[in-house]
Amino acid sequence: MLCTYCHSTNVVWDYERGCIVCGDCGTVLDVIYYYNINTSQEDSKQVKKLRNTHQVQGMSKYTSTYLKLTKVASRHGLIVDNEVFMKYISGSTPLVKVFKRPNVDVSKFMDREPIKLVLDLMKNYPKLTSRTDRAKVALAKIALDIVMDKGLDVKKLSSELGISEVHIRRLYKTLIRECEFLNDVKKLFLTIEA
């Protein structure tokens, strides 16, 4: 059996969780179904034997990490982005970026001109850049609202980006402390308007 994503032959039959998982990239390839309703002692012995075999064979640390993350994600209504997970295990992406909300496409906001300019400015501020893409877009929108003297609509921003209202308020407080960044945003928009 081959993994459909990375084409690895390191496939783990996880009878305890009831799934077939790639041992290299952590992708869940299939579900294991057990149809026998009348379980007997012999069946129980067979399942125990399979579990022991599974424990001897073991899962890679990436597979077990992936399974743990999917469990955490499902509790919070999130999903694990497989592509970002691969970047996470290689060390090029922080763990927080592995989780994403379903059906929230942040790229549509990132391509808009004023937000795009603010995001480019934000690259000079590590405290702000280290956030998820959704949080960076939220920071850009909040910065624009502050610079243009608009009131912050927490509920609207929360529903647009799929971020909790509490998180948006935290982002607002973080942004207020970054006076230099806000001054740079203000200068940018003064030069655009002129």
pLDDT tens readout for residues 165-185: 889 999 999 999 999 999 999
Asked if residue 137 and residue 90 are part of one domain, the reply reads: no
CA dihedral of 21, 23, 25, 31, whole degrees rounded to 10 = 0
> Is residue 63 included in any domain, yes or no?
yes
Task: Find, among 107, 103, 106, the residue nearest to 78 by Cα.
Answer: 103
> Is residue 178 included in any domain, yes or no?
yes
Domain count of the chain? 2
Q: Domain holding 182: CATH number?
A: 1.10.472
> Is residue 165 included in any domain, yes or no?
yes
Asked if residue 155 and residue 111 are part of one domain, the reply reads: yes
Residues 19-52: pLDDT tens digits? 888 888 888 888 876 555 444 455 555 555 555 5
Asked if residue 49 and residue 85 are part of one domain, the reply reads: yes
> Is residue 58 included in any domain, yes or no?
yes
Which of 59, 76, 100 is the last residue in one of the domains? 100
Task: Find, among 149, 141, 151, 134, the residue nearest to 175 by Cα.
Answer: 141
What pLDDT score was predicted for residue 171?
Answer: 92
> Is residue 64 included in any domain, yes or no?
yes
> Is residue 3 included in any domain, yes or no?
no
Give the pLDDT mean for 159-165: 83
What pLDDT score was predicted for residue 184?
Answer: 92
> Is residue 5 included in any domain, yes or no?
no
Which of 65, 85, 100 is the last residue in one of the domains? 100
Residue 40 belongs to what domain range?
A: 11-100
Greater confidence, 194 or 10? 10
d(CA 29, CA 3): 7
Asked if residue 96 and residue 15 are part of one domain, the reply reads: yes
Asked if residue 30 and residue 61 are part of one domain, the reply reads: yes
Which of 100, 134, 164 is the last residue in one of the domains? 100
Give the pLDDT mean for 115-137: 87
What pLDDT score was predicted for residue 44?
Answer: 54
pTM above 0.85, yes or no: no
Asked if residue 166 and residue 114 are part of one domain, the reply reads: yes
CA distances from 138 to 60, 61, 68, 79, 97 (A): 36, 34, 28, 20, 15
> Is residue 31 included in any domain, yes or no?
yes
